[in-house]
């Protein structure tokens, strides 16, 4: 338990977390460009959540600094919980038999001052259909795998914070 309680003070732990998110982004680009799987709008939103997880790399600068550590916790928590929610909605779109129950937007709903899909279309443009299941592994679609991944990130965050609070009485 002491090992887990001390993980947030480790550069290697924050580096591992951030690099795992970078690896997920590389995988997304591989699926898009090597396997020709067009990302839908929900895929793009999940990609944004994973990008939020890469922000935890800022904490590598000085994990003993409370402000940086809180920034790491916040970006980790918001990104993993939001990503899980988006993946859950995406699964609902794929599994619902009523064609009028859900609608998939064509253009990402980014803020008008930050149209990422126009600035970086190779990364943020949505060209696929949300309801289409074009890839699966062990019977699970890509959103189902992303839901598992985001749930793992979320559980890990909650577990580490709870253990740290119990053991050290601080974040």
* CB burial of residue 6 (10 Å; 0-12, 13-18, 19+): middle
Q: Is 27 a catalytic residue?
A: no
State the residue for tokens 């690099």: 19
Which residue in the list 69, 104, 155, 164 is annotated as catalytic?
104
Q: Could you give the angle at which helices 142-168 and 41-54 cross, rounded to 10 degrees?
A: 30
Which residue in the list 47, 48, 69, 164 is annotated as catalytic?
47
Which residue in the list 48, 69, 130, 164 is annotated as catalytic?
130
Give dist(CA 37, CA 30) in Å, integer: 9
Q: Is 43 a catalytic residue?
A: yes
Contact of 145 with 55, CB cutoff 8 Å? no
Q: Is 104 a catalytic residue?
A: yes
Which residue in the list 27, 40, 48, 164 is annotated as catalytic?
40
Specify the DSSP class assigned to residue 60: G
Q: Is 130 a catalytic residue?
A: yes
Q: Which residues form the catalytic set? A: 40, 43, 47, 104, 130
């Amino acid at each position: 338990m002491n090992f887990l309680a001390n993980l947030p003070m480790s550069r290697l732990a924050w580096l591992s977390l951030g690099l795992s998110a970078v690896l997920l982004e590389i995988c997304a680009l591989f699926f898009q460009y090597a396997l020709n799987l067009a990302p839908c709008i929900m895929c793009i939103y999940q990609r944004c959540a994973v990008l939020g997880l890469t922000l935890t790399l800022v904490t590598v600068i000085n994990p003993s600094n409370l402000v940086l550590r809180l920034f790491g916790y916040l970006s980790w928590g918001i990104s993993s919980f939001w990503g899980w929610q988006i993946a859950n909605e995406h699964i609902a779109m794929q599994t619902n038999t009523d064609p009028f129950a859900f609608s998939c937007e064509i253009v990402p709903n980014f803020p008008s001052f930050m149209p990422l899909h126009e600035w970086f279309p190779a990364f943020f443009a949505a060209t696929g259909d949300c309801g289409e299941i074009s890839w699966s592994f062990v019977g699970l679609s890509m959103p189902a795998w992303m839901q598992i991944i985001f749930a793992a990130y979320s559980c890990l965050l909650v577990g580490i914070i709870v253990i740290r609070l119990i053991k050290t009485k601080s974040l």
